[in-house]
Amino acid sequence: MKLGILGGTFNPLHIGHVRMAIEVREALSLDMVELVPAAVPPHKSGENILPFELRMDMVNRAVRDIPGLNGNPLEGERSGPSFTCDTLTCYRDDKPESELHFIMGAATFLEVPNWNRGMEIPQLANLVVVNRWEASRRTAEFIAETWPDATREADDLWRLSGGNAIRSVEIPRLDIKAGELRERWLDGRSLRLLVPPEVEPFLEEHRGVVQSVWSS
């Protein structure tokens, strides 16, 4: 199975996340893309982040009718910070037969060397770099600097010495930020067409918890 993995806080899940998953699945002919909410995001404080169970439920409801997308509660099943290297190691152990493709935006990709065991990540999975905003201009240069032994096989494809690949994928620009969505919701403004249709009713259903957390 060719499996895509898209991690994130998803606080809340929005159409940029979902569209990214769909675009990459189609571009790489993946069998499935799993959205994996971070239980304890290591790069963010716990303030203003909804409980993992709520975010996981939100993801499941939003993607359940979208072919080829699925939610995975992996991060909620283990303790400690949600480091990507640990997540991918779990995938390798649980799905050894799968070809793994870890999906990230270009700006996030440029930060990988600073992550916990970040340079091990390309050994665990293929990397899919989604070109979003200005950071995408640095992708090729960054790969040459960081992995000088990488072989460029196409304009959008580099092969690393360990065998895995880094692929660049162009998607429509959707400049949506979760922080702005939280502010809109707290102000009573509509999130229609900015989040999947299931998300607004979900937030309303859990208004007490959502308002308490996002207002803190």
pLDDT of residue 12 exceeding 80: yes
For residues 136-164, give the mean pLDDT. Answer: 92
For residues 36-65, give the mean pLDDT. Answer: 91
Quick one: pLDDT band at residue 133, thresholds 50, 70, 90? low
Question: What is the percent of the chain with per-residue pLDDT over 70, rounded to a whole number?
Answer: 96
CATH value at residue 150: 3.40.50.620
Q: What is the DSSP letter of 216?
A: -
The predicted structure's pLDDT at residue 46: 64
Q: For residue range 110-124, what is the model confidence (pLDDT) as tens digits?
A: 999 999 999 999 999
- Mapped onto helix, strand or coil, the DSSP state of residue 94 is helix
pLDDT of residue 44 exceeding 90: no
For residues 18-45, give the mean pLDDT. Answer: 93
Q: 50 near 207, Cβ under 8 Å?
A: no
Quick one: pLDDT band at residue 187, thresholds 50, 70, 90? very high
The contacts found for 53-61 with CB under 8 angstroms, 24 or more apart, are 54/206, 54/209, 54/210, 55/9, 55/10, 55/11, 55/12, 55/13, 57/202, 58/10, 58/12, 58/13, 58/198, 58/199, 58/202, 59/10, 59/13, 59/35, 61/198, 61/199, 61/202
pLDDT of residue 45 exceeding 70: no
The predicted structure's pLDDT at residue 113: 94
pLDDT of residue 168 exceeding 90: yes
For residues 7-35, give the mean pLDDT. Answer: 97
Q: How many domains does the chain have?
A: 1
The predicted structure's pLDDT at residue 54: 98
Q: What are phi and psi of 35, to 5 degrees?
A: -90, 125
Quick one: pLDDT band at residue 94, thresholds 50, 70, 90? very high
- Domain range enclosing 165: 2-214
Question: pTM, whole model, 2 decimals?
Answer: 0.94
